[in-house]
Amino acid sequence: MEILKTKAAMRAWSAEQNAAIGFVPTMGYLHEGHLSLVERARAENRKTVVSIFVNPAQFNDPKDFEKYPSDLEHDKALLEKSGIDALFLPAREEVYPSGVPKLRLSYDASMARLCGKFRPGHFEGMLLIVHNLLMWVNPTRAYFGLKDYQQFVLVKSMARDLEFPLEVIGCPLLRDADGLAMSSRNVRLSPKGRAEALAISRALKKTQADFPRLKNNLAELKAAFATELKPLSIEYAEICDADDLSEATGRAEPTKQYIAAVAATVDGVRLIDNIFLN
């Protein structure tokens, strides 16, 4: 596994490969969710690149940025074992030599919803770093976890609208045995907080189970979903069109896919989760 620390080295490595490159961008503190993306990238491409960069520009809350967990040596060992070809590990000054650019990439309407509503600037910062990672790595395929479902939809739209010649692939969310969606932030939960947080995945599974019965009344499905989540401090709990993330009310259309999505804060840790309903 080569470790590349500059944009120039990353670009040069990519240009030399003459092979399909799979790319998994991460913020480190890797868990099985990340590794499932790496596995898929390796299966579908001749070469695989992972990046680790905790992007300050996408943290609307500076405290969340400061507390974001990190264990680079452990990450490196996991990636070495996973058999990837290159790790892109740029320093902050390499990525933003003159500070975070003032250029804003925005889908105004879809960013005003779900996480975007509660994390001003988050998705703009995310799109900027993903755009630039794609410029440096120049992959054939890029892999994103579906846990960050709104992120996946926005990245897929950006890659299409800004004419990146690559495929954006969404990979299933993974859960721990107790049902909690895997996240680097879970390490910040106390045992009590973790037990409380299980209400999230329980509510999602119940909503998925309720869907066939309530698919002609999605407003009622949403209300039932909210009731399940009542003990928690909820930012949003919504039933959405999985394509464009618009709110789904009334009757479900048979040709469309729907998703239930939730953000909640437990122990001061912001957790997100979602489930496909059909």
Other CB atoms within 10 Å distance of the CB of residue 94: 15
Whether 169 and 141 have beta carbons less than 8 Å apart is answered as yes
First and final C-alpha spacing in the chain: 40
Q: Is 7 in the site for a second copy (CB under 8 A)?
A: yes
User: Which window, 82-90, 160-168, 234-242, 260-268, contacts a second copy (CB under 8 A)?
Assistant: 160-168
Q: Which residues pair with 262 in a beta bridge?
A: 237, 273
Least Å distance, CB 252 to a second copy, is: 24
Q: Is 209 in the site for a second copy (CB under 8 A)?
A: no
Interface with a second copy includes 103 (CB under 8 A)?
Answer: yes
Residues 21 and 47 sit within 8 Å (Cβ to Cβ): yes
Q: Does 104 sit near a second copy (CB under 8 A)?
A: yes
Residue 60 lies near a second copy (rule: CB under 8 A)? no
Compute the distance between CA of residue 132 and CA of residue 7 in angstroms, rounded to an integer: 10
Please state the closest distance from residue 154 (CB atom) to a second copy, in A: 9
Q: Which helix (H) or strand (E) holds 206?
A: helix 191-214
Residue 243 interacting with a second copy (CB under 8 A) = no
Q: Which of 62, 102, 191, 254 binds a second copy (CB under 8 A)?
A: 102
276: which 2 tokens? 């496909």
Q: Annotated catalytic residue: which of 34, 74, 122, 131?
A: 34
Residue 113 interacts with a second copy (CB under 8 A): yes or no: no
Is residue 72 near a second copy by the rule CB under 8 A?
no
Of the two residues 7 and 222, which places its CB atom closer to a second copy in the complex? 7
Report if residue 166 touches a second copy, rule: CB under 8 A: no
Query: Comparing C-alpha atoms, which of 56, 125, 48, 127 is closest to residue 88?
Result: 48
Based on the shown chain and the rule CB under 8 A, indicate whether residue 132 belongs to the binding site for a second copy. Answer: yes
Nearest distance from residue 71's CB to a second copy, in Å? 28
- CA distance to 24, 54, 61, 164, per residue, from 71 (Å): 18, 12, 21, 32
CB contact set of 156 (below 8 Å; sequence gap of 6+): 168, 170
Q: Is 122 a catalytic residue?
A: no
Give catalytic residue positions.
Answer: 34
* Site residues for a second copy per CB under 8 A: 7, 11, 101-110, 128, 131-132, 135-136, 157-158, 160-165
